[in-house]
Amino acid sequence: MKESWDKLANKFNTHKDDEIDPGAADNIVIAWPVILSEINKNFKQNNNEVLDYGCGTGGFSNKLNSLGFKVTGMDISNEMINIAKSNSPKEIDYLVGDTSKLKNINKKFDLIVSIMVFQFIDDIQKHVSIFNELLNKNGILIFAVFNPEIIKQYSKKGIDFAKIEKYKDIEMSNIKLKKNILIPVYIRSERDYKNIFEKYSFIHKFTEYPPFTEEFVKKYGWTDPYDVPEFMIMTFEKKELYNNE
């Protein structure tokens, strides 16, 4: 899968002077404002340690850095990280790899953000258990994934997504992000994510499905369907429960 993401690095380059690809701009225009508002709600000061997991070319890592956070960006694709590094200030710490590498990291985080990544991971439970270890008490984890409903609509209409099939105990599809590049997408509902996170003492705090804006649809020529929100954004808090709580 890493090789496929390497080939997609240019598509997800958010530092271009000319137009950003609509498939990357949607994160910025529609998902970022909700995520930033969640961060604002949960952090009075912005000097905390944050992990941007699956940071891609580092657009959001830069945003977090500009807000004052101490940022670590991680991505499995070294092509993504190369673009991120050449477009970021030195104080952002970029790492190539996945959670298996984070087990030995000598750092704890107050915030983990992950934008449009969890849906590409089949063993998400293993990742959540590692995020749990990496977060400080009362740490916050915010993520955006595809709203399952839009995957179903696109798949039914034959747009970008292949037919939905069963994988182990969940549904999955494949998304065509570029000619000849198909990436597996695991379809989890809000309830599925709650069940997974609650196993690791996380408390659910927030879910939002921000709608497409007219401005975005017009500017990027986004084609139907856009009546169903593309994103599902969720916030969880790490809560250690004691006998007297």
Ligand X SMILES: C[S@@+](CC[C@H](N)C(=O)[O-])C[C@H]1O[C@@H](n2cnc3c(N)ncnc32)[C@H](O)[C@@H]1O
**Candidate ranges 85-93, 110-118, 130-138, 204-212; the one touching ligand X (CB under 6 A):** 110-118
Least Cβ distance, residue 78 to ligand X (angstroms) = 9
Residue 30 vs 116, nearer CB to ligand X = 116
- Note whether 77 binds ligand X by CB under 6 A: yes
Instruction: Specify whether the CB–CB gap between 237 and 202 falls below 8 A.
Output: yes
Q: Pick the closer one to ligand X by CB: 131 or 236.
A: 131
Check binding of 98 to ligand X (CB under 6 A): yes
Q: Between 60 and 212, whose beta carbon lies closer to ligand X?
A: 60
Q: Which residues of 23-42 are buried (b: 16+ CB within 10 A; e: fewer)?
A: bbbbbbbbbbebbbebbeeb
Residue least distant from ligand X (Cβ): 56
Residue 74 to residue 11: CA distance in whole angstroms? 18
Which range binds ligand X by CB under 6 A, 38-46, 102-110, 112-120, 154-162? 112-120
**Residues 69, 94, 109, 120: which binds ligand X (CB under 6 A)?**
120
Nearer to ligand X, 186 or 197 (CB): 186
Using DSSP bridges, classify how beta strands 170-178 and 165-167 pair: parallel, antiparallel or unpaired: antiparallel
- Collapsing DSSP to helix, strand or coil, 40 comes out as helix
133 close to 145: Cβ distance less than 8 angstroms: no
Q: Are 155 and 162 in contact (CB under 8 A)?
A: yes
Residue 34 sits in the site that holds ligand X (CB under 6 A): no
Residue 9 to residue 14: CA distance in whole angstroms: 10
Q: Does 210 bind ligand X (CB under 6 A)?
A: no
The residues, any chain, with a CB within 8 Å of residue 163's CB and separated by 6 or more, are: 155, 173
Return phi, psi of residue 28, to 5°: -70, -45
Q: What residues numbered 42-71 form the site for ligand X, per CB under 6 A?
A: 54-56, 59-60
Q: How many positions of this chain bind ligand X (CB under 6 A)?
A: 20
Is the peptide bond preceding residue 225 cis, with omega within 30 degrees of 0?
yes
Query: x/- site string to ligand X, residues 138 to 177, per CB under 6 A?
Result: ----------------------------------------
Told to check if 81 binds ligand X by CB under 6 A, we report no
Question: Of 222, 234, 233, 235, whose CA–CA distance to 25 is shortest?
Answer: 222
**Nearer to ligand X among residue 129 and residue 203 (C-beta):** 129
| Residues 178, 182, 184: CA angle, nearest 5 degrees | 135
Q: Tell which one of 26, 49, 75, 171 touches ligand X (CB under 6 A).
A: 75
Q: Which residues bind ligand X (CB under 6 A)?
A: 5, 12, 14, 24, 27, 54-56, 59-60, 75-77, 80, 98, 115-117, 120-121
